[in-house]
A and B are shown apart, each in its own frame.
Chain A
Amino acid sequence: EVQLVESGGGLVQPGGSLRLSCEASGFIFTNDRMHWIRQAPGKGLVWVSHIDKYGSDTTYADSVKGRFTISRDNAKNMVYLQMNSLSAEDTAVYYCTRVSVAAANSWGQGTLVIVSS
Protein backbone atom coordinates (compact mmCIF):
# COMPACT_ATOMS: atom_id res chain seq x y z
CA GLU A 1 0.00 0.00 0.00
CA VAL A 2 1.32 3.41 -0.98
CA GLN A 3 1.80 5.69 2.01
CA LEU A 4 2.97 9.27 2.25
CA VAL A 5 3.34 10.68 5.74
CA GLU A 6 4.07 14.38 6.20
CA SER A 7 5.48 15.96 9.32
CA GLY A 8 7.08 19.18 10.46
CA GLY A 9 4.14 21.55 10.35
CA GLY A 10 3.25 23.90 13.17
CA LEU A 11 3.00 27.50 14.28
CA VAL A 12 5.76 29.83 13.14
CA GLN A 13 6.16 33.58 13.32
CA PRO A 14 6.21 35.75 10.19
CA GLY A 15 9.69 35.76 8.72
CA GLY A 16 10.46 32.40 10.26
CA SER A 17 11.43 29.08 8.77
CA LEU A 18 10.08 25.56 8.82
CA ARG A 19 11.15 22.27 7.24
CA LEU A 20 8.50 19.82 6.17
CA SER A 21 9.27 16.14 5.70
CA CYS A 22 7.47 13.41 3.80
CA GLU A 23 8.22 9.72 4.30
CA ALA A 24 7.22 7.51 1.38
CA SER A 25 6.57 3.78 1.41
CA GLY A 26 4.79 1.10 -0.58
CA PHE A 27 6.24 1.96 -3.98
CA ILE A 28 9.58 2.28 -5.72
CA PHE A 29 10.40 5.80 -4.59
CA THR A 30 13.16 6.37 -7.13
CA ASN A 31 10.71 5.86 -10.01
CA ASP A 32 8.55 8.87 -9.25
CA ARG A 33 8.51 12.63 -9.35
CA MET A 34 7.25 14.16 -6.12
CA HIS A 35 5.32 17.40 -5.66
CA TRP A 36 4.16 19.55 -2.78
CA ILE A 37 0.65 21.00 -3.04
CA ARG A 38 -0.92 23.29 -0.46
CA GLN A 39 -4.41 24.34 0.57
CA ALA A 40 -5.10 27.44 2.62
CA PRO A 41 -7.97 27.11 5.12
CA GLY A 42 -11.28 27.06 3.24
CA LYS A 43 -9.52 27.59 -0.08
CA GLY A 44 -8.54 25.55 -3.12
CA LEU A 45 -5.52 23.49 -4.05
CA VAL A 46 -2.36 25.28 -5.15
CA TRP A 47 0.70 23.63 -6.63
CA VAL A 48 3.92 24.55 -4.79
CA SER A 49 6.92 22.61 -6.02
CA HIS A 50 8.23 19.60 -7.94
CA ILE A 51 11.35 17.46 -7.78
CA ASP A 52 12.38 14.82 -10.30
CA LYS A 53 13.24 11.26 -9.35
CA TYR A 54 16.94 11.97 -9.16
CA GLY A 55 16.64 15.16 -7.13
CA SER A 56 18.46 17.13 -9.79
CA ASP A 57 15.56 19.03 -11.37
CA THR A 58 13.28 21.21 -9.27
CA THR A 59 10.47 23.66 -10.08
CA TYR A 60 8.63 26.19 -7.95
CA ALA A 61 5.49 28.28 -8.06
CA ASP A 62 6.28 31.97 -8.48
CA SER A 63 4.80 32.68 -5.05
CA VAL A 64 7.46 30.59 -3.28
CA LYS A 65 10.44 30.83 -5.62
CA GLY A 66 13.54 31.98 -3.79
CA ARG A 67 12.01 31.18 -0.38
CA PHE A 68 11.24 27.47 -0.56
CA THR A 69 13.61 24.62 -1.42
CA ILE A 70 12.51 21.10 -2.26
CA SER A 71 14.88 18.16 -1.88
CA ARG A 72 14.82 14.40 -1.56
CA ASP A 73 16.89 11.61 -0.05
CA ASN A 74 16.35 8.50 -2.14
CA ALA A 75 18.26 6.35 0.35
CA LYS A 76 15.69 7.23 3.02
CA ASN A 77 12.60 7.53 0.79
CA MET A 78 12.13 11.09 2.00
CA VAL A 79 11.08 14.37 0.43
CA TYR A 80 11.60 17.71 2.14
CA LEU A 81 10.36 21.25 1.78
CA GLN A 82 12.49 23.94 3.42
CA MET A 83 10.40 27.07 3.83
CA ASN A 84 12.03 30.41 4.66
CA SER A 85 10.75 33.98 5.02
CA LEU A 86 7.28 32.72 5.79
CA SER A 87 4.30 35.04 5.71
CA ALA A 88 0.62 34.72 6.59
CA GLU A 89 -0.10 33.88 2.95
CA ASP A 90 1.84 30.62 3.42
CA THR A 91 -0.62 29.39 6.04
CA ALA A 92 -2.02 26.16 4.64
CA VAL A 93 -2.16 22.40 4.81
CA TYR A 94 0.81 21.11 2.84
CA TYR A 95 0.37 17.83 0.99
CA CYS A 96 3.17 15.60 -0.27
CA THR A 97 2.11 13.90 -3.49
CA ARG A 98 3.37 11.26 -5.87
CA VAL A 99 2.82 12.40 -9.44
CA SER A 100 2.74 10.45 -12.69
CA VAL A 101 1.55 11.75 -16.07
CA ALA A 102 0.90 15.08 -14.32
CA ALA A 103 -1.64 13.52 -11.97
CA ALA A 104 -1.22 13.30 -8.20
CA ASN A 105 -2.19 9.68 -7.67
CA SER A 106 -1.15 9.47 -4.04
CA TRP A 107 -1.53 12.04 -1.27
CA GLY A 108 -0.39 12.23 2.31
CA GLN A 109 -2.72 13.30 5.09
CA GLY A 110 -1.20 16.78 5.03
CA THR A 111 0.61 18.86 7.61
CA LEU A 112 -0.72 22.22 8.77
CA VAL A 113 1.52 25.27 8.73
CA ILE A 114 0.27 28.37 10.53
CA VAL A 115 2.20 31.61 10.14
CA SER A 116 1.15 34.02 12.84
CA SER A 117 2.57 36.24 15.53
Chain B
Amino acid sequence: QSALTQPPSASGSPGQSVTISCTGTSSDIGTYNYVSWYQQHPGKAPKLLIYEVTKRPSGVPDRFSASKSGNTASLTVSGLQTEDDADYYCSSYAGNNKLLFGGGTKLTVL
Protein backbone atom coordinates (compact mmCIF):
# COMPACT_ATOMS: atom_id res chain seq x y z
CA GLN B 1 0.00 0.00 0.00
CA SER B 2 1.18 3.52 -0.80
CA ALA B 3 1.66 6.11 1.88
CA LEU B 4 -1.07 8.61 2.58
CA THR B 5 -0.61 11.91 0.76
CA GLN B 6 0.16 15.07 2.70
CA PRO B 7 1.42 18.45 1.46
CA PRO B 8 5.14 18.71 2.21
CA SER B 9 4.82 22.11 3.78
CA ALA B 10 2.37 24.57 5.32
CA SER B 11 2.79 27.89 7.03
CA GLY B 12 0.97 30.56 8.96
CA SER B 13 1.54 33.52 11.23
CA PRO B 14 0.98 33.46 14.98
CA GLY B 15 -2.70 33.61 15.76
CA GLN B 16 -3.78 32.37 12.35
CA SER B 17 -5.27 28.98 11.48
CA VAL B 18 -3.81 26.41 9.16
CA THR B 19 -5.26 23.17 7.80
CA ILE B 20 -3.24 20.15 6.71
CA SER B 21 -4.83 17.56 4.47
CA CYS B 22 -4.20 13.83 4.32
CA THR B 23 -5.51 11.85 1.36
CA GLY B 24 -5.84 8.10 1.31
CA THR B 25 -8.06 5.62 -0.46
CA SER B 26 -11.25 3.67 0.08
CA SER B 27 -9.08 0.91 1.60
CA ASP B 28 -7.89 3.02 4.50
CA ILE B 29 -9.22 6.47 5.39
CA GLY B 30 -12.37 5.89 3.40
CA THR B 31 -13.26 2.72 5.27
CA TYR B 32 -12.00 3.12 8.81
CA ASN B 33 -12.67 5.83 11.40
CA TYR B 34 -9.19 5.24 12.76
CA VAL B 35 -7.30 8.29 11.58
CA SER B 36 -4.61 9.69 13.85
CA TRP B 37 -2.40 12.75 13.77
CA TYR B 38 1.06 13.15 15.30
CA GLN B 39 3.32 16.11 16.01
CA GLN B 40 7.09 15.74 15.91
CA HIS B 41 9.66 18.31 16.92
CA PRO B 42 13.25 17.91 15.65
CA GLY B 43 15.14 15.16 17.44
CA LYS B 44 12.08 14.10 19.41
CA ALA B 45 9.70 11.16 19.25
CA PRO B 46 6.29 11.83 17.71
CA LYS B 47 3.40 12.78 19.99
CA LEU B 48 -0.19 11.72 19.46
CA LEU B 49 -2.47 14.72 18.81
CA ILE B 50 -5.67 13.17 17.47
CA TYR B 51 -7.10 9.64 17.40
CA GLU B 52 -10.28 8.11 15.99
CA VAL B 53 -10.54 11.00 13.52
CA THR B 54 -11.56 13.73 15.96
CA LYS B 55 -10.62 12.79 19.53
CA ARG B 56 -7.88 14.54 21.50
CA PRO B 57 -5.85 12.75 24.19
CA SER B 58 -5.76 14.39 27.57
CA GLY B 59 -3.41 17.36 27.57
CA VAL B 60 -3.67 18.22 23.87
CA PRO B 61 -4.96 21.79 23.48
CA ASP B 62 -8.33 22.27 21.78
CA ARG B 63 -6.54 24.46 19.23
CA PHE B 64 -5.94 21.16 17.47
CA SER B 65 -9.00 19.78 15.72
CA ALA B 66 -9.55 17.27 12.94
CA SER B 67 -12.14 15.86 10.60
CA LYS B 68 -12.64 13.40 7.77
CA SER B 69 -14.62 13.41 4.56
CA GLY B 70 -14.51 10.48 2.20
CA ASN B 71 -10.91 9.47 1.61
CA THR B 72 -9.44 12.69 3.01
CA ALA B 73 -8.71 13.67 6.59
CA SER B 74 -7.74 17.13 7.79
CA LEU B 75 -5.98 18.61 10.80
CA THR B 76 -6.62 22.25 11.72
CA VAL B 77 -4.38 24.18 14.05
CA SER B 78 -6.09 27.34 15.26
CA GLY B 79 -4.47 30.30 17.01
CA LEU B 80 -1.02 29.28 15.80
CA GLN B 81 1.75 29.51 18.36
CA THR B 82 5.49 29.38 17.83
CA GLU B 83 5.69 25.97 19.53
CA ASP B 84 3.42 24.55 16.82
CA ASP B 85 6.37 24.80 14.42
CA ALA B 86 6.94 21.07 13.83
CA ASP B 87 6.35 18.15 11.50
CA TYR B 88 2.87 16.65 11.39
CA TYR B 89 1.99 13.12 10.29
CA CYS B 90 -1.35 11.52 9.62
CA SER B 91 -1.99 7.83 9.97
CA SER B 92 -4.81 5.48 9.14
CA TYR B 93 -5.68 1.92 9.99
CA ALA B 94 -5.32 -0.15 6.84
CA GLY B 95 -6.77 -3.47 7.97
CA ASN B 96 -4.98 -6.56 9.29
CA ASN B 97 -3.46 -4.63 12.19
CA LYS B 98 -1.45 -2.50 9.75
CA LEU B 99 -0.98 1.25 10.00
CA LEU B 100 -0.35 3.59 7.09
CA PHE B 101 1.39 6.94 7.52
CA GLY B 102 1.48 10.07 5.45
CA GLY B 103 4.75 11.52 4.24
CA GLY B 104 4.58 14.35 6.74
CA THR B 105 3.97 18.09 6.58
CA LYS B 106 6.44 20.63 7.86
CA LEU B 107 4.48 23.44 9.51
CA THR B 108 6.33 26.73 9.72
CA VAL B 109 5.05 29.44 12.04
CA LEU B 110 6.25 32.64 10.41
Q: Which residues of A contact B (CB under 8 A)?
A: 33, 35, 37, 44-47, 50, 52, 57, 59, 61, 95, 99, 101-105, 107-110
Contact = CB atoms under 8 A, between A and B. Distances in A.
A44 B2 CA distance: 13
A103 B89 contact: no
A103 B52 contact: yes
A95 B101 CA distance: 14
B28 to A, nearest CB: 10
A59 B94 CA distance: 12
B97 A105 contact: no
B46 A104 contact: yes
B48 A105 contact: yes
Interface of B: 3, 32, 34, 36, 38, 45-48, 51-52, 57, 89, 91-93, 96-104
Contact of B34 (A44, A57, A103): A103
Contacts of B48: 103-105
A37 B104 CA distance: 14
B34 A102 contact: yes
Given A44-B3, A44-B89, A45-B104, A102 B46 contact: no
B99 A107 contact: no
